[in-house]
A and B are shown apart, each in its own frame.
Chain A
Amino acid sequence: MNSPFLDNSLFRNIYCYLASGSDDCAARGYDMAILPSGLEWLAFALTAFIIINIVINAGLGAVIVYIWGERRILGRIQNRTGPNRWGPFGTLTSVADAIKTLFKEDIVPDEADRWLFNLAPILMVFPVLMVLSVIPFGVGTFVVDLNVGILFVIAITSMSGISVVLASWASGNRIAIFAGMRSVAMLISYEIPMALSLIGVLMLAGSMSLGAIVDAQDIPFILVQPLGLFVFLLAAQAETSRTPFDLIEAESELAAGYLNDYSSMKFGIFFLAEFLATIVASMLIVTLFLGGWRGWEPIPSQIWFAGKTVLVLLFIMWMRFSWPRLRVDQILALAWKGLFELTLINIFVTAILIAIWPEPSVTELLIMSAINWVVFFISIWAVSKLLRPGDYTAPAPREDRPSYPVATDELPDEVAYTGGATR
């Protein structure tokens, strides 16, 4: 494969600047060497260090800009102005917020399990940063192009569920425990439709590498895989716990869920991970469904990628600020009764189409997309029939309400509890 993508220009430039001993660098016209020969390992390590720094800092900078943008957009949707006091157009507001968060008192509750309490924020932010390493941001701008990229993404993002459970358990707070229970139920349920929705893309691209998937998109896969995008969009919202799936930190129910006892920069890290996860999710949507960095020529590929990401983020915000939250049982029902079936339909239809056209040309891809859009509307209509809340009739009064003892000041252990003791 002669894709320009396979040449990691970022790494090559820095490495060859430091140590130009290898033939590879010489062939590309690098003849300066800062480090003496024999220290190639040091050059390698330094390059890796620099790139990691670039990626992490770019990620954090993106979060700062994203928070400001989200507050402005929220303001506009709610007919307000949004932050505009501090800096040009209020851009320094989130910087001020970050500084304020840093200087707050760091409180660890007495009841907390100190080790796990401190570990949870780190576990939360680490997988998100790891995912950044496999995303191709443009021609030659990526950290590594894994040939199992999608598997890596799915595997590593599932760790965020663990950190939520850790945080809620370590806080020693009963309200946080609810968030932990919900996160186990929801994050694990949505792993499955999220993974299955990508199988159509894999079949079309014939590879798991994110770079190869971008290469394969002669027309954006949003046309060929509408069902896949639909399910992935909803599942990604759930995985990053945005409205209407934000029941892990549901403000009106659990105050702040698992974040209740976190303060200062630990709280900040959780928030950072959460916003970064949203950005990463939309970057994945761009890479997998919107043609990644591909675009028309004079504009550089990195700009195309960033522009598409912003568009997806805008759509997610719009959705988020328009709808209320679903209940926990409805969210699980949506995952298992709705999205799961949709992904199966998608896999089935795509497999048949691939069997007919094993190496599709652009025309054949367009025919496939027409068929897939028909399938998209029919299947969503059918599934929504299944999930329909039913016509509105006055429900009968509920006679089956259990009578339970009145809560007392005693500890829950001593409450005489008879129903549902075993499961």
Chain B
Amino acid sequence: MIGLGLLKAMRVTLRNALKAPFTIQYPDRKVGIVGAAKEEGKSPIGLVATQPVTAAKAAMSMYSVPVNIPQNRRFRGNEFTWYEDRCTGCASCAKYCPLGIIEIVTSPGGFDVQEGESYAIDVFDIDIGRCMFCGLCVEACPYDALHMGSHFERSKYERDALVIPVDELRQALKEPSSWFRPQFEERDYDPFRDGAEDDHYKVGRHEKPSDETLDERWVEER
């Protein structure tokens, strides 16, 4: 009989309508009185008693709480994390970039923690307006000086402002992504949980896990 399939379809949509929405509300989320009380650090009744305006706003779903999107630690973010102490100015990253958006100018007389004497970096500009975040520059870096960042909120009104100059790279909050940095995952570093990693000694390449360790870990994971 025609129509039974249509009724089945309506049953599926009804079942989905009764589920909780799967939307992640970004950058903030509307909460009710309970959520607002939690945010203000009070009990719901206390909120109504002390801050009636806030409570009324929350009751009308006009109170919002900032939301952090769950990210994974390998996320290739757009602010590059660069440790100048580790960088020798070899320009491998600039060479391996498929788009050629990294500009490096060096002069003799710098110092590097691994190699000793090396080049001083005068210009290290990354034009992320054209960057496609493939991460090949990070993969190419022989001294683990350059890492992908872990953030993505860097929209600007002008294209020129999208270029990350060397000073900004020096001063930036260093929250490197663990993309192509197995040593981070080896010591269980998560930029979203652990925050900034300023110690450039810690970010260096360590011993790889041996085959036996891998074996054991695989058995445990099963």
Q: Give residues in A with beta carbon < 8 Å to B.
A: 73, 75-81, 84-85, 87-90, 318-319, 321-323, 380-381, 384, 387-388
Contacts and interface: CB of A to CB of B under 8 A. Distances in A.
B13 interface: yes
B10 A79 contact: no
B57 to A, nearest CB: 9
Given A323-B9, A384-B1, A384-B3, A80 B61 contact: no
Most buried by B among A73, A79, A89, A321: A79
Interface residues of B, number: 20
B10 A318 contact: yes
A217 B3 CA distance: 29
B69 interface: no
A79 B22 contact: yes
A342 to B, nearest CB: 12
B19 interface: yes
Contacts of B9: 322-323
B6 interface: yes
B13 A77 contact: yes
Given A88-B62, A322-B10, A78 B3 contact: no
B25 interface: yes
A75 B10 contact: no
Contact of B1 (A75, A80, A322, A381): A381
Contacts of A79: 16-17, 19, 21-23
Contact of A89 (B10, B14, B19, B60): B60
A380 B7 CA distance: 14
Contacts, number: 51
Contacts of A81: 21, 23, 25
B218 to A, nearest CB: 37
B60 to A, nearest CB: 4
B30 interface: yes
B60 A77 contact: no
A77 B2 contact: no
8 contacts: A76-B17, A77-B13, A80-B23, A87-B62, A88-B60, A323-B6, A381-B1, A384-B1
Given A79-B19, A80-B22, A87-B62, 12 more contacts: A76-B21, A77-B13, A81-B23, A84-B25, A84-B61, A88-B60, A88-B61, A89-B61, A322-B6, A322-B9, A384-B2, A388-B2
A380 B3 contact: yes
A386 B30 CA distance: 52
Contacts of A85: 30
Contacts of B16: 77-79
Interface string B1-42: 111001001101110110101110100001000000000000
A81 B20 CA distance: 9
